[in-house]
């Protein structure tokens, strides 16, 4: 059942996303989660390192129990054909195929037009690094990296957890992923408080990250060698798989150090060749679309297999 609902949710989300008119009336669920995390951050992120780490663990426990409970309650009450329609629509809020494409395209277009200010502004919506002083090449590189990493975080991983555990799995993943993006950093403020969120995100992304890397390599043959060679160079045990796969597919070098909240974080480079330019960013979007379609095909194949077995 989850596989059929997932396929419908993937298609619906790609077509309509989360409409702006709806977002103005009812903020996206990720916004609610972000507000909760920000409130806990303000209240509990203080004291010495051990206190911060314990508080961060409690935050993760809350972000597992609360979303799982909400998801379970919804699944209990959403029955019948109308309930299934609502369940699919709710599931689409955990996917980001359309919004990720729109956001990355929103960086690419002003970059092609030479509007660096607008490109930096658009980039700041999808990356955690400082963007104020990035040049054209750095903007294209950061957007390409974000697209590759978010293909896992925003599409493959939530789809995986919905397939495995329905709405509870999807909601828990999105909550943990949001926490990782907000507090799972290596800077001085979050090194201890965000430790548990970062580790939980690592666990939940372990298999999806490798699936995402494989999908990118299938969508654009040429990424296999770099993915297997460089994936483990990334600071994250997971993000390197899709980023290295994309670097190999585009024949470029990504990664390297960057400023986060004014603090330089050293990172190794992934791939060979020049840094991405706007042309490579356009190519990355094409690969992304093909990889999303492959995910649809695989989901459909799972449905077909289950029907055949039954």
- Mean pLDDT score of the chain, rounded to an integer? 90
Measured distance CA(159)–CA(141) in Å, rounded: 26
Over residues 159-172, the pLDDT tens digits come to 999 999 999 999 99
- What sections of the chain are H helices per DSSP? 2-16, 20-25, 29-44, 49-77, 80-92, 97-112, 116-123, 136-151, 157-183, 195-219, 224-230, 239-250, 278-309
Sign of CA dihedral 248, 250, 256, 258: negative
**What residue ranges do the domains of the chain occupy?**
2-309
Query: Residue 26 — very low, low, confident or very high, per pLDDT cuts 50/70/90?
Result: confident
Per-residue pLDDT, 260: 66
Per-residue pLDDT, 263: 66
Query: Residue 287 — very low, low, confident or very high, per pLDDT cuts 50/70/90?
Result: very high
Instruction: Tell me the mean pLDDT in the region 18-38.
Output: 82
In our burial notation (b when 16+ CB lie closer than 10 A, e otherwise), range 118-131 reads ebbebbbebbbbbb
Per-residue pLDDT, 164: 94
Share of the chain above pLDDT 70, in %: 96
Higher pLDDT, 91 or 190: 91
Per-residue pLDDT, 259: 67
Model confidence, pTM: 0.92
Nearest residue to 9 (alpha-carbon basis) of 99, 87, 77, 68: 87
Over residues 291-300, the pLDDT tens digits come to 999 999 999 9
Higher pLDDT, 155 or 138: 155
Over residues 242-285, the pLDDT tens digits come to 999 999 999 999 887 766 666 666 778 899 888 888 899 999 99
Per-residue pLDDT, 152: 95
């Amino acid at each position: 059942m989850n596989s059929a609902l997932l396929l419908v949710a993937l298609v619906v989300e790609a077509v309509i996303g989360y409409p702006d008119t709806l977002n103005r009336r009812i903020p996206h669920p990720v916004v609610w989660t972000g507000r909760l995390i920000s409130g806990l951050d303000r209240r509990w992120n203080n004291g010495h390192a051990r206190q911060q780490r314990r508080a961060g663990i409690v935050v993760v426990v809350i972000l597992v129990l609360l979303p799982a409970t909400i998801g379970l309650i919804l699944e209990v009450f959403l029955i019948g054909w109308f309930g299934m329609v609502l369940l699919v629509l709710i599931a689409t809020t955990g996917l980001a195929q359309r919004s990720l494409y729109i956001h990355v395209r929103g960086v690419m277009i002003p970059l092609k037009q030479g509007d660096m200010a607008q490109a930096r502004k658009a980039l700041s919506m999808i990356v955690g690094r400082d963007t104020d002083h990035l040049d054209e090449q750095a903007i294209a590189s950061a957007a390409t990296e974000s697209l590759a990493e978010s293909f896992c975080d925003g599409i493959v991983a939530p789809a995986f957890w919905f397939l495995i555990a329905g709405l509870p799995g999807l909601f828990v993943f999105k909550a943990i992923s949001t926490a990782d993006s907000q507090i799972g950093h290596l800077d001085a403020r979050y090194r201890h408080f965000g430790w548990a969120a970062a580790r939980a995100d690592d666990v939940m992304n372990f298999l999806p990250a490798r699936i995402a890397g494989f999908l990118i390599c299938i969508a654009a043959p040429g990424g296999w060698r770099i993915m297997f060679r460089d994936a483990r160079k990334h600071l994250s045990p997971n993000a390197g798989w899709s980023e290295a796969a994309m670097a190999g597919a585009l024949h470029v070098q990504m990664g390297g150090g960057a400023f986060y909240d004014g603090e330089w974080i050293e990172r190794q480079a992934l791939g060979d060749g020049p840094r991405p330019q706007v042309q490579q960013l356009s190519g990355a979007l094409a690969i992304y679309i093909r990889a999303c379609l492959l995910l649809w095909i695989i989901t459909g194949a799972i449905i077909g297999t289950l029907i055949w077995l039954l």
